[in-house]
Amino acid sequence: MSVVLPDPTRMEGRTVVVTGASSGIGRAAARELALLGADVAVVGRNRERTEAVAAETGGRAFLSDFDRLASVRELAAALLDAYPAIHVLANNAGGMAERGLTTDGNGITFQRNHLAGFLLTNLLLDRLRETAASAPAGAVRVIQTASEANRSGRVRLDDLDSMRGLWLAGWPAYGAVKLENILFTRELARRTAGSGVRTWAFHPGFVATGFGGTNPLIALGKRLALSPEQGAQPLVRLAAATEVPAPSGNYFSRLTAPGRTARQANDTGLARALWEASAVRAGLG
């Protein structure tokens, strides 16, 4: 049985952290969440664009480069210093990337789309739990921007960096990390059960943003794509709906759950193993 996300409601008194908020879906979501009354932490890599969105939304700008885990740790420290309560963390930053390794020794696509958000979530998790202890039931949420591309992904614990096999313009690596986003969401739901923290992943649809760079096929398809404002609707509703009509850990395709996933998305053992491998990569033990 499928369910549909309801309309968003007012968010006065709630703090929302949106990564990748300097452009595209993140910027559109930050704007709408601010209009709903939320205090928005605008996280981006480009100073000029990030500060512009913060000024427009009345929020605060936080600069972070997810290709450096040290920068993610600095971001978490800054957020914890700025906000005594965090109600929503939207891990939205990501996208396709060139083949190669970050300075931390991780695949760029893997770190940018999964590992950085995994680290940030873990560094903020105690604050999210503390907020949930005094917030209305269901108000504290972690939201992950995934993708329909998960269906073509395959997670290999012995090649999380996607350095083996054919690159094929980065699509296999991108499908893998989008599947990892869903596995992470499901394992986070298991680990936070009973804490008041709830979590969901979503596919925004095919959106006309900077995604895909100069890839000619993607550029052609953007003529028929959704606007960033339309693509941001699942994120906004998951953050601001009074009730999300699907259990924590679910995956929405646009506004409907359950969305279609690769078979591996239902592998609880793989979800736990991915969490443990990610913790080691992120320096969490």
By CB neighbour count within 10 A (0-12 exposed, 13-18 middle, 19+ buried), where does 194 fall?
exposed
Domain range 3-281, its CATH number among 3.30.56.10, 2.170.190.11, 3.40.50.720, 1.10.10.10:
3.40.50.720
Task: Tell me what pLDDT residue 221 has.
Answer: 54
Place of tokens 């941001």: 232
251 labelled catalytic: no
Which residue is catalytic, options 62, 83, 110, 174? 174
Task: Tell me what pLDDT residue 211 has.
Answer: 53
Residue 236, token pair as written in the block: 């906004």
Q: What residue segments make up the domains of the chain, in order of their start?
A: 3-281
Q: What count of other Cβ atoms lies within 10 Å of the Cβ of residue 12?
A: 8
Listed residue (34, 25, 28) closest to 57, CA to CA: 34
Residue 100's alpha-carbon distances to 45, 49, 97, 218, 234, in angstroms, are 19, 26, 9, 22, 31
Measured distance CA(30)–CA(26) in Å, rounded? 6
Task: Tell me what pLDDT residue 225 has.
Answer: 86
DSSP symbol at 152 = G
pTM: 0.94
Task: Tell me what pLDDT residue 224 has.
Answer: 73
DSSP string, 40-51: EEEEES-HHHHH
Ranges of beta strands (E only) in 35-87 are 39-44, 60-63
pLDDT along the chain (285 residues), means of 10: 96 98 98 98 98 98 98 98 98 97 98 98 98 97 98 98 96 98 98 98 87 52 81 98 98 98 98 98 92
